[in-house]
Amino acid sequence: MNCLAIDDEPLALNIIEDYANKVPYLNLIDKCTNAFDALNIMQQQKIDLIFLDIEMPHLSGIDFLQSIEKRPYIIFTTAYPDYAVKGFELNAADYLLKPIEFNRFLKAVNKVYGLYNLQREDAVSVAPSPHRENTGTPDYLLIKVEYATVKVEFNSIFYIEGLKDYVKIHTGNKPLLTKSTMKNLEEKLPSNMFTRVHKSFVVNLSQIESIENNRILINGRRIPIGSQYKNSFFELVDRFRL
């Protein structure tokens, strides 16, 4: 994977470079101390992954990311945990707090590499139409509801509820009921955005309002955290906890 590191601290860039050189599938194209240089590089090179600092002068990492129309995978690298929720909202693949340890770095890039390979397999197995621009991984699901097929954007989903042979997708509009299994649907969701918290519930991480007493509050609904998923869920939450 071609990657790019953006950070206004040269020491932080050197650490990312050292770590990236230890991972065989990472090809660090360049290091930049500001987002403007990075934009120039991205116009000349295909970049698959960006290690992105947030607090930078002139143009912050978040402003930079929001300015990109076709985004590569993003791993935020920052000394500030305050932006964790924003990282979820921007669908960042991971969020690394400085000082970054190599084992944590490796876990993050392994996750991205898995997503990257899945995307490549999808591109090979599904030939794009010659009349339609290939925009990469879709940001929506196509759900069969009764006699219609409905497009559901990932961002609009609050949570998904399993009901025996059906799943109910709770969105900002009315819930959608479709015949499927939780496992089948979970495989179609981006893992950096959704996580299983109970045998009957998958939640959108960016929609979580609060967590209290093994319950997650989303859109007025308290969702239980199952014992089977408790450890993995709280390990994920701890990465973003202040």
Q: How far is CA 162 from CA 168, 190, 220, 231, in A?
A: 6, 18, 18, 21
Domain boundaries, the chain: 2-125, 140-238
β-strand pairing of 221-224 with 215-218: antiparallel
Reported as a pLDDT band with limits 50, 70 and 90, residue 172 is confident
- Fold for the domain defined by 140-238: OB fold (Dihydrolipoamide Acetyltransferase, E2P) (2.40.50)
pLDDT at residue 241, as a whole number: 59
Q: 73, 3 in Cβ contact below 8 A?
A: no
pLDDT at residue 218, as a whole number: 92
Q: What digits encode the pLDDT tens for the residues 121-137?
A: 544 433 343 433 444 45
Mean pLDDT of 173-187: 86
What class has domain 2-125? Answer: alpha beta
Q: What digits encode the pLDDT tens for the residues 10-69?
A: 999 999 999 999 998 899 999 999 888 998 999 888 999 999 998 888 888 888 888 887
DSSP characters for 53-102? -S--SSS-HHHHHHH-SS--EEEEEES-GGGHHHHHHTT-SEEEESSPPH
Q: Comparing C-alpha atoms, which of 151, 5, 176, 168 is closest to residue 75?
A: 5
Q: What digits encode the pLDDT tens for the residues 185-236?
A: 888 888 888 899 999 999 998 888 888 888 999 988 999 999 999 888 888 7
Q: Comparing C-alpha atoms, which of 155, 171, 162 is closest to residue 197?
A: 162
Maximum CA extent, the chain: 58
Give the pTM: 0.52
Q: Does 143 score more than 80 pLDDT?
A: yes
| Residue/partner pairs of 128-135 with CB below 8 Å, 24 or more apart | 135/70
